[in-house]
Amino acid sequence: MDRGETSLAEDSPTGWSAVEIARRVARGDVSAEEVTRAYVARVVAVNPALNAVVVPLFDSALAEARQVDRARATGGILGPLAGVPVTVKECIDIAGTPSTLGLVPRARERRSRDAAVVTRLRAAGAVIVGKTNASQLLMFPETDNPVYGRTANPWALDRSCGGSSGGEGAIVAAGGSALGIGTDIGGSVRIPASFCGIAALKTTARWLPLEGTGEVLPWLIAIPDTVGPLARSVADLELALRVLARPAEGERPSLTASPVEPRDGSAVVPARLRVGFYEEDGYFPVSAALRRAVREARDVLAAEGAELVPFVPPRIAEIMDVAHALFAADGGRSLARSLRGSPVDPRNQPYVQLSRVPLRALPPSARVLRIAGQARMAGVLATPIPRTAADHTDLVERAAELRRDYLDALESRRIDALLGHPYPLPALPHGASARLSPVQSGTMAFNFLGWPAGVVSVTTVRPEEEASRPESRDLVERTARACDRGSAGLPVAVQIAARPWREDVVLALLRVIERAFAPTMPRPTAV
């Protein structure tokens, strides 16, 4: 196949936004096949270094592109994504392809039908170029598994692209996909976007359909998974949301989605909004570059006329305790069951071990860790995992109380949205997440609440910000200090969150921030 144009230049399709591609294809300025060939060539050029696209669908993508071109030539109706090259996370079903979730036995299986979100993409005219890598069982913020191996960050190949939707973050940032679709139950689209210097949106819980997306914990109704887009611009996130929220003609009824139409984002006036901001949420110390990013974004929103007020996220430690307890409510048995017959990634070993250890043994183990100076890991083991159905009911009721208190904190101060950090560190060195499990409050809080949250990149780490953390005996804090070292030049993002169904507010504020910082944001240099 002709390798074609492989650069990210603005005069190349791989440098255009999804909005621009759809516009040019609809006008006939360029054919969908030309665009698709350019993106396929870009994947071929960068994927050997990244290992992001693990199920290439180049031939079928070109066939889909030709269908778009035929429709345009004959006066057919073109969808809003007509001719736009899209990739989807490996766990999302595409008929005839595997959805392994990093489990070796599933590599032999082929899915019989498309996921609901894939049906909607196809109905909108999207050209699906391939499926991208994810962490095993979608359970940790790196992208690595025994089936496909590890995915690297296009900014620095020795750094992680995040996870679990890390393949999406890497290939979108590298220009091999105009739009990526992932899933997010604890930060899985927002962390990769933050690490890879792009934008992403986690939608309101139970809005978009989950059928065919490889839910790992379908019993975890208290913290539902969500579908979300990743892109190089906020406008592309808005376009993706309009497509993903619209059922396709003849689509099977969904058991997991709410038929809610997206609000018109143009009606949101940032100058009328009151935005709470925080550099730290009080759970785990945030790197200096991320604190600076929040301050700079705060100033941009204030200059736009928004009212910025300091905010302290309420009861964040309790939120994280309850979230961890809900994730482990079955003692890790369902995850351990899923891992049977497959090599287990070391970062998933704790779930296997948890399924084998009596719950009464966890508190003594936590005490030993605390005595050894490992307070943060001790806190994870000390999480009160429910032992009975009554315990679980109490936990769900406590979760409802925490959600009520968080919303009341906004209501009492008339706050419309929140500005903070998505993750307390820039892109991690490969393997570091195994020692950083107790740090994910920035994203997890909004999965717990069920609120929409989006990220956009605003700056890069400065050399003087690499050594801002104090020395510590604690393993987690030592690991974070090591992650900061050598991070100069890596991208840094901020996060905006709002009440349920107010994606329009999230996207409006992300647009303002992007407009201020996009002209100075560099592009990845490792590929």
The full 3-state SS of 231-278, as one line of letters, equals ECCHHHHHHHHHHHCCCCCCCCCCCCCCCCCCCCHHHCCHHHCEEEEC
Answer yes or no: 287 catalytic.
Answer: no
Distance CA 221, CA 225 (A): 9
Judged against a pLDDT cut of 50, whether residue 217 lies above it is answered with yes
Structure tokens at 268: 């949101």
Answer yes or no: 7 catalytic.
Answer: no
Give the CA radius of gyration of the chain. Answer: 22
Let me know if residue 257 belongs to a domain: no
Confidence of residue 173 (pLDDT cuts 50, 70, 90): very high
The residue-averaged pLDDT of 104-111 equals 97
Mean pLDDT of the chain: 93
Nearest in space to 225 (alpha carbons), one of 387, 92, 394: 92
Structure tokens at 511: 């647009």
Q: Residue 504's pLDDT is what?
A: 98
Q: Any long-range contacts for 429-432 (C-beta under 8 Å, 24+ apart)?
A: 429/158, 429/159, 429/160, 429/482, 429/483, 429/486, 430/142, 430/144, 430/150, 430/152, 430/158, 430/159, 430/160, 431/142, 432/142, 432/160, 432/479, 432/482, 432/483
Instruction: Provide φ and ψ at 254, rounded to 5°.
Output: -95, 140
Which pLDDT tens digit goes with each residue over 126-140?
A: 999 999 999 999 999
Which pLDDT tens digit goes with each residue over 90-99?
A: 999 999 999 9
Q: Do 471 and 373 have their domain in common? A: no
Q: Do 165 and 217 have their domain in common? A: yes
Instruction: Provide φ and ψ at 315, rounded to 5°.
Output: 55, 40
Answer yes or no: 89 catalytic.
Answer: yes
Judged against a pLDDT cut of 80, whether residue 382 lies above it is answered with no
Confidence of residue 374 (pLDDT cuts 50, 70, 90): low
Q: Do 112 and 205 have their domain in common? A: yes
Judged against a pLDDT cut of 70, whether residue 326 lies above it is answered with yes
Q: Residue 1's pLDDT is what?
A: 32
- From the list 135, 177, 188, 334, the catalytic residue is 188
User: Under a CB-based contact definition with an 8 Å cutoff, are residues 442 and 501 in contact?
Assistant: no
Q: Do 154 and 243 have their domain in common? A: yes
Distance CA 522, CA 198 (A): 11
Q: Do 282 and 373 have their domain in common? A: no
Q: Do 243 and 293 have their domain in common? A: yes
Distance CA 328, CA 334 (A): 9
Beta-bridge partner residues of 455: 200, 495
| CATH assignment of the domain containing 171 | 3.90.1300.10
The b/e string for 66-76 (b: 16+ C-beta within 10 A; e otherwise) is: ebbbebbeeee
Q: Do 177 and 31 have their domain in common? A: yes
The residue-averaged pLDDT of 430-451 equals 95
Which pLDDT tens digit goes with each residue over 51-86?
A: 999 999 999 999 999 999 999 999 999 999 999 999
Give me the half-sphere count of Cα atoms (radius 13 Å) on the Cβ side of residue 407. 12
User: Under a CB-based contact definition with an 8 Å cutoff, are residues 189 and 237 in contact?
Assistant: no
Structure tokens at 86: 């899209």
Residue 454, domain extent: 13-248+274-311+413-520
Q: Residue 75's pLDDT is what?
A: 96
The residue-averaged pLDDT of 339-343 equals 96
Q: Residue 384's pLDDT is what?
A: 67
Count of CB atoms situated within 10 Å of the CB of 274? 14
Q: Do 223 and 363 have their domain in common? A: no
Q: Work out whether strand 453-460 and strand 307-310 pair parallel, antiparallel, or are unpaired.
A: unpaired
Let me know if residue 405 belongs to a domain: no
Judged against a pLDDT cut of 50, whether residue 242 lies above it is answered with yes
The answer to which of 31-45, 57-71, 331-345 has the lowest mean pLDDT is: 331-345
H-assigned helices in 160-246: 166-173, 190-196, 234-244
- Per the structure, how many domains does the chain have? 2
| Whole-prediction pTM | 0.95
Which pLDDT tens digit goes with each residue over 397-424?
A: 999 999 999 999 999 999 999 999 999 9
Q: Do 343 and 301 have their domain in common? A: no
Beta-bridge partner residues of 53: 132
The residue-averaged pLDDT of 17-40 equals 98
Higher per-residue pLDDT: 374 or 506:
506
Q: Do 450 and 375 have their domain in common? A: no
- From the list 12, 17, 135, 164, the catalytic residue is 164
User: Under a CB-based contact definition with an 8 Å cutoff, are residues 512 and 300 in contact?
Assistant: yes
Q: Residue 328's pLDDT is what?
A: 83
- From the list 89, 99, 160, 338, the catalytic residue is 89
Nearest in space to 229 (alpha carbons), one of 388, 454, 57, 462: 454
Q: Do 94 and 215 have their domain in common? A: yes
Q: Residue 2's pLDDT is what?
A: 38
Confidence of residue 4 (pLDDT cuts 50, 70, 90): very low
Which of these three, 385, 405, 429, is where a domain ends?
385
